[in-house]
A and B are shown apart, each in its own frame.
Chain A
Amino acid sequence: MNVLLGMGGSPDGFDALEETLARARQAGDDLTVAVLDTSDDYDVDDVAAKIRDRLDEAGVEADVHEFSGHPGSQLTQLAEREGFDRIVIGGGQRSPMGKIELGEVAEFVLLNADTTVTLVR
């Protein structure tokens, strides 16, 4: 399967990366990672470097692309343009109470993607 992982620098994105790597090894998926500008808290270049390190460590080959601009629309457009089979995104952050909060990007992608979306828990 041709898989597109969309992530920023938040922990749920890196959890999604781990799940996606594990699956790619087992199933032989082709993996592309879109690094999205989701928050001022993270620098896209730094996040991309971290992802490349992790890919090297895991011995998985994947394209890593950086995107600026509206993260949700960047991701859904890329998936359609390149004909990906599946978009993978992180499953949200936890509030102080422990409630799962789906972010703006997840909501946009779930509602607007024409590609099947996997939300990683």
Chain B
Amino acid sequence: MTGRTYPDDIVDSFPQPPLSLTDEEGRDIRIESGGMDDFDALVAMYDDFDPADRAQGIPPIKEGAIREWLDTLLAEGSLNVVARHDDRVVGHAILVPGHEDAYELAVFVLNDYQGAGIGTKLLEGLLGHGVSKGVQRVWLTVERWNEPAIALYEKLGFETSNAESFELEMSIRLG
């Protein structure tokens, strides 16, 4: 994973959580920064997660593996943002630090809550949270056939940084 490139232009116009929205189904959703306190609610969310929505082996399927994976995501240094509907966590977006001060991004939304504008708001909130914590470089991978996701990432300011692998790699520079 060497030689990853980032756009020249800095994007800094993201809102910081907490955010709220009424989604396209009329549900009141709150977007908040998350952490270890959300561990159990996140385990419940990923227990409910549709296996058809998995990507590149995550989220894991078995509860033990989910817990182990969440331990990594919620560890110090990572940034987490969650979408809540009532007391239930229905969406989760994460920045995990890796090489060269760059953060890997992923976002998950429960099937029943997809296509309602929650993912977009979660990502805006996560990137806003990232900016406030001094995060400058973010990258992600996405399946080439996942055109809605790619379009959303492009709308947010991500650009393709590597098109030569199985998955498309995209990146953004924050300020």
Binding site for B on A (CB under 8 A): 94-102, 104, 107
Among the listed stretches B10-18, B33-41, B54-62, B152-160, which one makes contact with chain A, having 4 or more residues with CB under 8 Å of it? B54-62
A98 to B73, CA, bound (A): 9
> B1, B58, B105, B165: which contacts A98 (Cβ < 8 A)?
B58
Contact in complex: B96, A101 (CB < 8 Å): no
Question: Which secondary structure dominates where chain A touches chain B?
Answer: loop
Partner of B58, one of A99, A102, A104, A107: A99
Report the interface size for chain B: residues with CB under 8 A from the other chain.
20
Q: How far is the CB of A118 from chain B (nearest CB, A)?
A: 17
Of the residues A96, A99, A104, A107, contact of B57 by C-beta under 8 Å? A99
Chain B residues within 8 Å of A95, by CB: 1, 56, 98, 104, 141
Q: Report the minimum CB–CB distance from A97 to chain B (whole Å).
A: 5
Q: CB distance A101 to B58 under 8 Å?
A: no
CB neighbours of A102 from chain B (8 A): 165-166
Chain B min CB distance to A93 (Å): 9
Chain B residues within an 8 Å CB radius of A98: 57-58, 60, 69, 72-73
**Inside 8 A of B69's CB, which chain A residues have their CB?**
98
Q: Could you tell me which residues of chain B, from 24 to 45, have a CB within 8 Å of some CB in chain A?
A: none
Chain B residues numbered 138-172 whose CB sits less than 8 Å from any CB in chain A: 141, 165-167
Which residues of chain B are within 8 angstroms of A104 by Cβ–Cβ distance?
A: 165
Interface of chain B residues 111 through 162 with chain A (CB within 8 A): 141
Chain A positions within 8 Å of B1 at CB level: 95, 101
CB of B69 to closest CB in A, whole Å: 6
Q: Is the CB of B165 within 8 A of A100?
A: no
Q: Which of B56, B96, B166 sits near A107, CB closer than 8 Å?
A: B166
